[in-house]
Amino acid sequence: MDILRYGSRGILVELLQSTLKKLGFYNGTVDGIFGANTRDAVYTFQREFGIDIDGVVGPITWKKLMPYINGTVGNIVPTNMSYSYRIMIMNINDLKRKYDFLSVGSLGSSVLGKELPYIRLGIGPSQVFYSGSIHANEWINSVVLMKFIEDYAIQYEQNGSLYGKNIRELYNEKSIYIAPMINPDGVDLVVDDMSKMSNAYKNARLIASNYPMISFPSGWKANILGVDLNLQFPANWVLARENKYAQGFIRPAPRDFVGYGPLTEPEALALYNFTLANNFKLILAYHSQGEVIFWRYLNLEPEEARKIGEEFAKSSGYILDENVDTGSYAGYRDWFIQDYRRPGYTIETGLGINPLPISQFDKIYQDNIGILIQGATLV
């Protein structure tokens, strides 16, 4: 772990602040800025744990903090900070070590070579699949999915329940596959966990300069090459291209550029191939924002999709959208419904402007815990 001191900034400072807040030593904002309040909290922590009081978070201080980060004491997934790829990978490794019944694998790799992990919950023959953060500035859903994984694991270990369903029973009946972060390069760009000196960052900034009406990097939805991954699937891709070209997105952009053909981007191709390789009865594609559930695609959805969607709406309070054709094509859910004729849902969490503030997490999670359980139990 990097050495942190007064004046440091970034994701690891947020992790430090989040951990100190969990321990009751820090009562400020988790903002990634190592200022006087953070330094004072480090002083207090070092004093309490018998460390030299220098306000610097080096190897010894990190070692003392680590049990409260890796789940040796308390929970693992932080829900009050920005969530980058490296934090997610730390969490996945810690969850797997703590709960050895979790199964972890990879869909493939991103443009920058980051593995795209999935976690399998359960051993049952009936499979469902949930994905998040295919759009970079919708990273809050990665936290939602990771927290669900942790809560599932806790309840399995304790022979407990979530949303009225015994988790050990669910584990034996169903297999829930979760890919929490489909677009890690884009997420790292948005949450400022990418070196501004890197070629990837410089290229993204150049792409964004052609679209000054889109805030950079907060408005970035695409992968690091400027291709919108949710416009990459073979479900009327040509119509999606026509629509987006008409809107001016004719070249790499922070959002809405369809690419030069379907499945040209490694993240989209990995998601496509992973779906082909499994037998998912239902998929949930997590997006933000709007508190709405999309479930229809050109009247190709199966008959049972409405009933399941109504249950989702009831448990979450979200609106079940009834439009048959929203003018949106080439999405992952569109392709799944088109090719499999099985229930597929886009869940739009939260309200506001992306990226949604992490302060919305608690409400979003409570709204969606029912959907996350029902997604497996209703098929």
Q: What is the pLDDT of residues 324-335, one digit of tens each?
A: 776 789 999 999
Instruction: Give the full edge-to-edge strand order of the sheet including 292-294.
Output: 103-109, 115-121, 174-179, 126-132, 280-288, 344-349, 292-294, 319-320
Contacting residues for 44 by C-beta, under 8 A, at least 6 apart: 25
Mean pLDDT in residue range 140-146: 98
pLDDT in tens, 316-369: 999 999 987 767 899 999 999 999 999 999 999 999 999 999 999 999 999 999
pLDDT in tens, 185-224: 999 999 999 999 999 999 999 999 999 999 999 999 999 9
Torsion of CA 144, 145, 146, 151, to 10 degrees: 90
Mean pLDDT in residue range 98-102: 97
From residue 98, give the alpha-carbon distance in Å to each of 22, 102, 150, 189.
19, 9, 10, 30
Report the pLDDT value the prediction gives residue 94, as an integer from 0 to 100.
98
In this structure, what token pair is assigned to residue 176? 């829930």
Report the pLDDT value the prediction gives residue 325, as an integer from 0 to 100.
72
pLDDT in tens, 116-130: 999 999 999 999 999
pLDDT in tens, 54-99: 999 999 999 999 999 999 999 999 999 999 999 999 999 999 999 9
Which sign does the torsion angle of CA 258, 262, 264, 266 carry?
A: positive
Report the pLDDT value the prediction gives residue 327, as an integer from 0 to 100.
72
**335: phi then psi, degrees, rounded to nearest 5:** -65, -40
Question: What is the β-pairing status of strands 174-179 and 115-121?
Answer: antiparallel
Within 158-284, residue ranges assigned H as helices are: 167-173, 184-190, 199-209, 237-246, 266-276
Report the pLDDT value the prediction gives residue 324, as an integer from 0 to 100.
79
Report the pLDDT value the prediction gives residue 377, as an integer from 0 to 100.
98
The confidence band for 171, taking pLDDT boundaries of 50, 70 and 90, is: very high
CATH 3.40.630.10 range(s) for the chain read 85-185+266-377
CB atoms within 10 A of CB 86: 15
In this structure, what token pair is assigned to residue 374? 């029902």
Q: How many contiguous H segments (helices) and E segments (strands) does the chain have?
A: 13, 10
Report the pLDDT value the prediction gives residue 127, as an integer from 0 to 100.
98
Domain 11-69 class in CATH: mainly alpha
Task: Report the candidate in 141, 181, 127 with the shortest Cα–Cα distance to residue 340.
Answer: 127
In this structure, what token pair is assigned to residue 43? 């002083």
The conformation of residue 347, written as its DSSP 8-state character, comes to E
Mean pLDDT in residue range 159-186: 98
Which sign does the torsion angle of CA 214, 13, 143, 180 carry?
A: positive
Helix (H) or strand (E) holding 348: strand 344-349
CATH 1.10.101.10 range(s) for the chain read 11-69
Q: How large is the C-alpha radius of gyration of the chain?
A: 21
Report the pLDDT value the prediction gives residue 130, as an integer from 0 to 100.
99
Report the pLDDT value the prediction gives residue 328, as an integer from 0 to 100.
82
pLDDT in tens, 24-51: 999 999 999 999 999 999 999 999 999 9
Is 106:116 a contact under the CB 8 Å cutoff? yes
Which sign does the torsion angle of CA 142, 144, 150, 153 carry?
A: negative
CATH no., domain 85-185+266-377: 3.40.630.10
Q: Which residues are catalytic?
A: 329, 348
Question: What is the β-pairing status of strands 161-162 and 165-166?
Answer: antiparallel
Torsional class of 54: left (φ above 0), alpha (ψ -120 to 50), beta (otherwise): alpha
Query: How high does pLDDT run on average in the chain?
Result: 97
